[in-house]
Structure 1
């Protein structure tokens, strides 16, 4: 027989509430300040990075398990691929306009 935890998932609830808080803070910065658009975008991007990190540790269990090196390698690879896809997409979309 295996043991199962039946306690309330406080850790997940706190992570969810923090994710909502980051989203609300980003919305407040976007709609209730008179900051320049570039500054607002940088702040929203910062909140997005914080929320992604929060979700990695609270929901995707990055700190659990025995083989932590493979998790780090897979995470770094996933971040690299996401950056390549985003930058590549922006490059292709902006470079294509000069041809037409």
Structure 2
């Protein structure tokens, strides 16, 4: 049975698995780009897919999102941070396009 500390902080096995998966995904993306196995359009899609998988691995295995108990505070704070980030990015793009339109 895992102790409270192991559930909160993870184990060496979890971190090792995360490291191996992240290195494998990074090397896989590097290999695909360096060998030019696909057309550029398909390659961008494959790289984005590998990046999303790597982000999910890091969120689950390193940041422990999804492993906590009932309150789910880590996940809630993370989702709020994503919402704020999306608002900042799209708001900035919207303002820049508006300023560009008004300057022309």
Note the 1:1-100 alignment, pairs <5 A: 9-62=12-65, 63-68=67-72, 70-87=73-90, 95=97
In structure 1, the gaps of 5 or more residues are none
CA-atom RMSD, angstroms? 2.9
How many Å apart are 1:91 and its aligned residue? Answer: 6.1
Distance 2:82 2:26 in 1: 21
Distance 1:33 1:85, change over 3 A: farther
Secondary structure, in 3 states, of the residue corresponding to 2:68? coil
Report which structure shows greater RCO (CA 8 Å, sep ≥6): 2
| Distance change in 2, residues 1:39/1:13 (3 Å) | same
**C-alpha distance in 2 between matches for 1:36 and 1:89:** 32
With normalisation by structure 2, the TM-score equals: 0.66
Aligned residues: 94
Unaligned regions of 5+ residues in structure 2, if any?
Answer: none
Between structures 1 and 2, the one with greater helix share: 2
